Amino acid sequence: MTVNGVARWTCRTHVDAVAKGGALEVAPLGHLPVIRDLVTDMAPFFDKWARARGQFQGARSRHDDFARIAPDDPQRRQVDAGIECIGCGVCYASCDLVSWNPAYLGPAALNRAWTLACDARDVATRERLRAVGGDAGCHACHTQMGCTERCPKKLSPTAGIAGLKRALARAALKGTL
Q: Which residues bind another protein (CB under 8 A)?
A: 97, 100-101, 129-135, 137, 139-140, 142, 165, 168-169, 171-173, 177
- The residue (of 13 and 122) whose beta carbon lies closer to another protein is 122
- The runs of H, that is alpha helices, within 7-95 are 15-18, 43-51, 74-77, 90-94
Helix 107-117 to helix 157-174 angle (10° resolution) is: 60
Measured in whole angstroms, how far is the alpha carbon of residue 42 from the centre of its chain? 14
Residue nearer to another protein on the CB measure, 3 or 124: 124
> Under a CB-based contact definition with an 8 Å cutoff, are residues 146 and 96 in contact?
yes
User: Closest approach of Cβ 9 to another protein, in Å?
Assistant: 28
CB of 177 to another protein, least distance (A): 4
Task: Work out how close the CB of 44 gets to another protein at its nearest, in angstroms, rounded to a whole number.
Answer: 18
DSSP state of 34: E
Nearest to 138 by CA among 166, 117, 115: 166
- Output 131 or 151, the one with its CB closest to another protein: 131
Cβ distance to another protein smaller for residue 25 or 102: 102
Measured from the CB atom, the residue of 44 and 134 that comes closer to another protein is: 134
Indicate the angle between helix axes 107-117 and 43-51, nearest 10 degrees: 30
Cβ of residue 41: shortest distance to another protein, in angstroms?
A: 23
Smallest gap from Cβ 142 to another protein, in A, equals: 8
